[in-house]
Amino acid sequence: MNLSEPRPYPNGHLIIKQLVSDPVFSKNKTGLSKEEKIDSITEHFREIMLVLGLDLNDDSLKDTPARVAKMYIQETFSGLDEENEPDITLFENKYHYSEMLIEKNISVYSTCEHHFVPIIGKAHIGYIPKGRVVGLSKLNRIVHYFSNRPQVQERLTVQIAAYLKKVLHTEDIAVVIDATHLCVASRGIRDVDSSTITSSFNGQFLNTEKRKEFNLHISGK
C-alpha cells in the first residue's frame, strides 16, 4: 500500500524554518523568475570577470557568465527553489521491520556559504521504522535538496535529521556527514588531507549501543 500523498509536507522550507536557523529564509524575496535570475547573474558575473581582467571576447570565456548563471540556478543552488523539494513516497511497513535501516555513502555536493567553494563528502542516514518506510532513493534526494544551497555542514546535518523526523513521524533518526571543504583544501591553510565529520543522533540512536551499531555499519568494519 502506497501511503504517499502529493507533497505530504508541502514545504520543507517551512519545516526547517521552524526548527533550524537558515539564511535561506530571507524576507527579501527577489520576485524574479528563473530566467530573470539567470539573466541578472550573467550580467553580474560578467562584471566580475571584467574586473579580474579577463578577455570576454575569447572563445573559451565569452559564454562563461551564462554558463555559471545557469549552473547556479539549475544545479548548484537549486535547493533554494521550493519547487525542487522532492516528493516523498512513503510505504506501509507491512513486514513490521523494527531494526535500523541505513543508507550510507550518499554523495554530498554543497557550497560553503563563507567562500562559495565546494563541500564534497558522504552522508550516512539511519532510522528505525514505525508505521511507514520511505523509498530509499528519497533519502538521497533529501540530502541533495538541502545540499544544493549555500551551507555550513553543521546546519546541513541538522536540517536533514529534522526533515526526516517530520516526514517519518519518528525521533529515531541518525545522520552523519563526512566531508572535505575546499575553503580549507584549496585556500588558506591548504590542507588537502583533513575532513569534517558532523552528526545528529536522535531517539533510540542516543543509546550508546544503538549508536555503536550504526557507526559500525557505516564504517564497514
> Which pLDDT tens digit goes with each residue over 178-190?
999 999 999 999 9
DSSP 19-32: HS--TTS-S-----
**Domain boundaries along the sequence of the chain:** 34-76, 87-219
Q: What percentage of the chain carries pLDDT values higher than 70? A: 86
- CATH number at 34-76: 1.10.286.10
The torsion of the CA quartet 130, 131, 135, 141, rounded to 10 degrees, works out to -60
Residue 50, pLDDT > 60, answer: yes
Q: Rounded CA gap, 122 and 163, in Å?
A: 18
Buried b (16+ CB within 10 A) or exposed e, 39-55: eebbeebbeebeeeeee
Q: Rounded CA gap, 118 and 149, in Å?
A: 11
Q: Rounded CA gap, 166 and 154, in Å?
A: 19
Residues 162-166 have a mean pLDDT of 95
- CATH number at 87-219: 3.30.1130.10
What local confidence, expressed as pLDDT, does residue 12 receive?
54
Nearest alpha-carbon partner for 130 in 87, 94, 88: 94
Indicate which residues carry an active-site annotation: 112-115, 153, 181, 183
Residue 126, pLDDT > 80, answer: yes
Q: Rounded CA gap, 122 and 204, in Å?
A: 23
What local confidence, expressed as pLDDT, does residue 42 receive?
98
Confidence of residue 26 (pLDDT cuts 50, 70, 90): low
> Per mean pLDDT, which range of 45-59, 88-102, 197-211 is the poorest?
88-102
Cα 125 from chain centroid (whole Å): 13
Residue 11, pLDDT > 60, answer: no
